[in-house]
Amino acid sequence: MLTGAGVSAESGLGTFRGADGLWNRVNVEDYATPEAFHRRPAEVWRWYAERWRRMQAAAPNAGHQALVRWEGLFPSYLLVTQNIDGLHQRAGSRAVVELHGTLRRARCVSCGASVEMHIALTLPGEPPRCSGGEACGGFLRPDVVWFGEMLPAGAMERAVESAEAGDVFLVAGTSGTVFPAAGLIEVARRAGALVIEVNPEETAMSGLAHLRFAEPAGAALPRLTEEILEWRNRSRG
Ligand code: BV8
Ligand code: ZN
């Protein structure tokens, strides 16, 4: 399955596009690109630090919680998320691939050393400098994928494999506009999966869905999960 910012909307975290979207308030190019970090490291660092604080203050919602059950329901289930907020994991999901990285960690731009964000934020400097084993002194950056950057090694491969393998592909809370993530929907569809979309609004990918639930994820996902569980119990007799 594939999730996006809409799944975290009911946890109080804003989405990116649409009327109240984050990208309506700031320019993507000023914050979510490697060039932006190069030009204005302090501003970019502070902006992500503020998003990290909001993320920490947020709690997983009924949509995140419902998806935890899917791990036990389908053996090849994989939760592919574009979200960097870690709320799926905080809800209890373990089989998660974070296509766009995570804001729970920072990493050194020079040596790649990884630092938990809550620790990085206690270090001096905006952004702080790397103080790992080698103390290379490089800037720490959020461990997220910016526009124009490659996805984490192996993440897309695992995601494609699961999209090709499953009978059902669930897409929830994403506008389906950022690639290569959005391409997974077509991959699943071509491989013969039943594509289900959960989104109150029509999206760029709605045409690929066999089934659409035009509802918030926090309502549709728990209900869908209950229905699958009931069907399971009935079919086991
Ligand atoms: C790459 C992390 C190879 C950081 C993000 C043309 C020009 C330039 C570039 C491109 C181009 N064409 C394609 C590209 C590539 C580019 C891209 O796709 N651009 C698009 C915009 C055209 N992609 C990349 O650059 C990717 N890398 O391709 O590498 C490469 C490398 C070098 C050179 C060439 C190729 C990397 C992209 C990663 C970007 N990082 N985030 C951060 O967060 O700060 S992207 C950002 O969008 C988000 O973080 C999120 O991860 C992603 C997707 O957004 P959504 O999750 O879908 O959120 P959105 O707001 O859009 O939608 C929310 C939906 O929820 C709505 O539909 C709404 O109706 C719904 N909703 C609302 N409430 C609810 C709900 N649904 C359910 N329940 C609710 N309650
Ligand atoms: Zn370093």
According to DSSP, the β-strands at 168-172 and 2-3 are parallel
Ligand 1 center from residue 179 Cα (angstroms):
7
pLDDT, residue 134, reads 64
Paired residues of 139 in beta bridges: 129
Name the residue with the closest Cα to ligand 1, atom 8. Answer: 148
Q: State pLDDT tens for residues 74-89.
A: 888 999 999 999 999 9
Of these residues, 88, 100, 118, 210, which one is catalytic?
A: 100
pLDDT, residue 57, reads 98
Q: State pLDDT tens for residues 144-184.
A: 999 999 999 999 999 999 999 989 999 999 999 999 999 99
Among left, alpha and beta (phi > 0; psi -120 to 50; other), residue 148 is: left
Pocket test for ligand 1, best of 147, 151, 185, 196 (most atoms within 8 A of CB): 147
pLDDT higher than 70, residue 36: yes
CA distance 83 to 14: 11
Question: What residues pack around ion ligand 2 (CB closer than 5 A)?
Answer: 108, 110-111, 113, 130, 136, 138
Reference 92, options 69, 110, 123, 113; nearest CA is: 69
